[in-house]
Amino acid sequence: MRANNARNSSRDSIDRPPSKRCCDCELTKQSSEFYSTTTTADGLASTCVMCTKRRVIEYNEKHPEHNRLYRQSHPELNIAAINRRRARKVAAGGTLTANDIASIRKRCGGRCTYCGKPAKPLHMDHIVALDNGGSNDKSNITVACGNCNQRKHARPVWDFLAELVGIKPEEMRAIL
């Protein structure tokens, strides 16, 4: 944490010019319209934000197979990104990473946490749903088959487990 703070303070101490010329569109823009970087003397990227975004979009349009193949070969990264976005939308805390997802899948051995059946593909399920105040942390994530994940939806886990074993939710809460 200290190293990060030291890096930020050294980045903040760079005397940035009030404006800069973009080397791509060749327009002079305010320094706030450039990404920060540690590789240049003025602490600003050589191209403005708009030109950088345009270049990324052009690359992705020219190489759609690259993104598709990358997402297919790194499903944990894609799932983690989707879960982070969902958590941000409901202002839920937690930092679920691709490594967390891989370790959760490995721990469960390819079986649904709820019904115990082998399942492919396995869904990542928030034990306490984000809509119900759950976090996007690895302690709140488990794997479920598609059937169980969709049946559980945003219900409390105890109510869903009671349904699975065929008792009333009140009886399950009394047992636990």
What's the pLDDT tens digit per position in 15-74? 788 999 999 999 999 999 999 988 888 999 999 999 999 999 999 899 988 888 888 888
Residue 25 pLDDT: 94
Closest CA to 143 of 118, 112, 169: 112
Over residues 150-157, the mean pLDDT reads 89
Count CB atoms within 10 A of the CB of residue 126: 25
Partners of 121 in beta bridges: none
Tens-digit pLDDT profile for residues 112-146: 988 889 878 888 898 888 888 888 888 888 899 99
Q: Which residue has the tokens 């059937």?
A: 147
Q: Which residue has the tokens 């969902």?
A: 86
CATH 3.30.40.220-classified regions of the chain:
69-175
User: The whole model's pTM is what?
Assistant: 0.54
Angle between helices 49-62 and 64-73 (to 10 degrees): 80
Can you tell me whether residue 148 is helix, strand or coil?
A: helix
**pLDDT average, residue stretch 140-166:** 88
Q: Which positions ≥6 away from 124 have C-beta within 8 Å?
A: 79, 83, 101, 104, 141, 142, 143
pLDDT of the residue at 64: 87
Backbone angles phi, psi at 60, to 5 degrees: -65, -35
The pLDDT score that the predictor gives to residue 175 is 65
Asked if residue 78 has pLDDT above 90, the reply is: no
> Domain 69-175: which topology?
Herpes Virus-1 (3.30.40)
